[in-house]
Structure 1
Amino acid sequence: MQQIAAFGSHECRSKDTVHSAICTITGTPDQLVLNLACTAKSEDHVSELMQYVNDTLLPQMENSLGIQFEVRNLQFAVAGKENLALPSEPLDVALHPQQDWLEQPFIAPSLTPTGGLDFGRGGTPSDLSIA
Structure 2
Amino acid sequence: MSNSAEYDSSWDDGNEPLWDKKYKVWQKRDWEDYLEEHLTFPFQSVRFEDLDSNPFADNKDAPFSVGHTVEVLGIDDDDEMRGIIVKVKEGRKKGYLMLCELEVVSKEDMNFWPVREYVVWFANR
The structure whose Rg is larger is 1
* TM-score in terms of structure 1 length: 0.25
Higher relative CO (CA 8 A, sep ≥ 6), structure 1 or 2?
2
